[in-house]
Structure 1
Amino acid sequence: MRNLVIFGASNILSDIFDCAIANQLHIKSVVLHHAEAVGERDRSVQERIADLQVFGQTPQLLSFEEFQPQADELYILGPTTPQRSVLASELVQRFGLKFTTLIHPTAYVSPLAKLGQGVFIGANSVIGPGVHLDQHVFVNRGVTVGHDTRVGAFSRLQPGCNLGGLSVIGEAVTVGIGATLIERLVIGDHAFLGAGAVVTGDVAYNSLVVGVPAKFKKLVNQDL
């Protein structure tokens, strides 16, 4: 079994564990780059790791300072927020790491699609022909990406969302749970498309859109 090292943690960590087990990978360690903040409705990394014991897996929980790369390891990011680009850059600069792609065996990825390094594709998702997923795109469960659509680096596609074909999705975009995008759209960098939104027109840089049909709500981050 090949060894998987996960950098950082979020509530999506269990999905990464699930995908690793389904691909017969050994989850070697989870490396935290800062202290974990566990919210009232969250589960800690230790709790999630404990779930793996039934599968004979006991990954180490390491600090950033304790990590040393080994030749037999595969690497992927654990956090899903667009800000994980900072973590990826630091890992490349400090250790020269290259990241693996992790695809659940129940997902379908067209042989005509292109995947950048660090891409994650969850269970029952469909990636159509001509799709291009740039580095560290996170595709959650049950997502459909239509033909010839490009999704920019560090974007995240939440469970059950559907992207029409021939669209261009910018960098660090979030497509919320169950959102639908018609085809031939351009979505600006750092945009946030709310859960259940039906997006029928282009979305500007750094904009939050919600509703059916989706309408502008506010700027996502005033500092961008």
Structure 2
Amino acid sequence: MKNLAIIGSGDLGQLIAYHSTTSYTVVGYIDDFAEKDSFVENLPILGTVNDIEELYQNSIFDELIIAIGYKHFDLRARLYNQFSKNIPFATIIHPSSVIDSSCKIGSGVFVLPGVVVDRKVVIQDNVLLNVGVTIAHDSFIGKHSFISPSVAIAGFVNIGEKCNIGINTTVIDNVTITSNVQTGGGTVVINDLTLAGLYVGNPSRFIK
């Protein structure tokens, strides 16, 4: 199996490490805020972001993935753009999830248990699909976005980059959501969301 290094040793990093063991050997974390050679759940801190290229050149890891959450989308995107030109990024799909063979899945994607993605869906780079997400046919998820647990996305939906679609959000068919949108839990999206910002409610309304 290939060796995997994870940027970020917090809760998301530990979750990725836990779900990666069937397809990768996780060799450790890269974290600017943890002491090198210390351990998090028996995995070492390999160094900081500034050490990534040297670690890769020294064959410490084969592939990389980012475990930085939705509160830091700009950093998440910057790190992916910085390193993906020269370093392979892992795509990790939990074996209980169902991804149709017609789908296009980018690099750096993390898919948690119980996800169902139907025909001709495009998931771009550095996206997280959380537990129980369903995405119907012909939909599109833009780079660096987070799709929270139990989100239901109907067919022909287009979601932009760096979106955080909140838990139990429902998006009806043929809706476009612009980049940098967040939805609150249980939001129901029935029309295009054309302004970046936070939306809540049923039907969704713009908050800020």
State if a TM-score over 0.5 links the two structures. Answer: yes
Q: Does 1:152 align with 2:142?
A: yes
Q: Does 1:91 align with 2:86?
A: no
Amino acid in the other structure paired with 1:76: I
- TM-superposed deviation, 1:61: 4.1
Amino acid in the other structure paired with 1:14: Q
Amino acid in the other structure paired with 1:12: L
1:123 to 106, 113, 121: 113
- Secondary structure of 1:90's match? helix
Matches of 2:28 and 2:46 in 1, distance apart? 6
- Secondary structure of 1:5's match? strand
Residues 27 and 44, structure 2, Cα contact 8 Å, conserved in 1: yes
Structure 1 range deviating more: 205-214 or 125-134: 205-214
Mark the CA change 1:162 to 1:140 in structure 2 (over 3 Å): closer, same or farther.
Answer: same
Amino acid in the other structure paired with 2:78: V
Residues 63 and 87, structure 2, Cα contact 8 Å, conserved in 1: no
Structure 1 range deviating more: 58-67 or 109-118: 58-67
Encode CA deviations 1:145-171: one digit per residue, 9 max, x unaligned: 111000111111011111111111011
Amino acid in the other structure paired with 1:29: G
Q: Indicate the residue corresponding to 2:181 in structure 1.
A: 191
Matches of 1:92 and 1:112 in 2, distance apart? 24
- With normalisation by structure 2, the TM-score equals 0.87
- With normalisation by structure 1, the TM-score equals 0.81
- 5+ residue gaps, structure 2, are none
Matches of 1:135 and 1:203 in 2, distance apart? 22
Structure 1 segments, 4+ long, off by >4 Å, are none
**Cα RMSD, aligned residues only:** 1.9
In the TM superposition, 1:1-224 aligns within 5 A as 1-21=1-21, 23-32=22-31, 34-35=32-33, 49-50=40-41, 53=42, 58-67=43-52, 68-69=55-56, 70=59, 73-81=62-70, 82-83=73-74, 84-92=76-84, 96-218=86-208
Matches of 2:10 and 2:183 in 1, distance apart? 20
Matches of 1:105 and 1:62 in 2, distance apart? 30
- TM-superposed deviation, 1:187: 0.1
Amino acid in the other structure paired with 1:27: V
Identity, % of aligned positions: 27
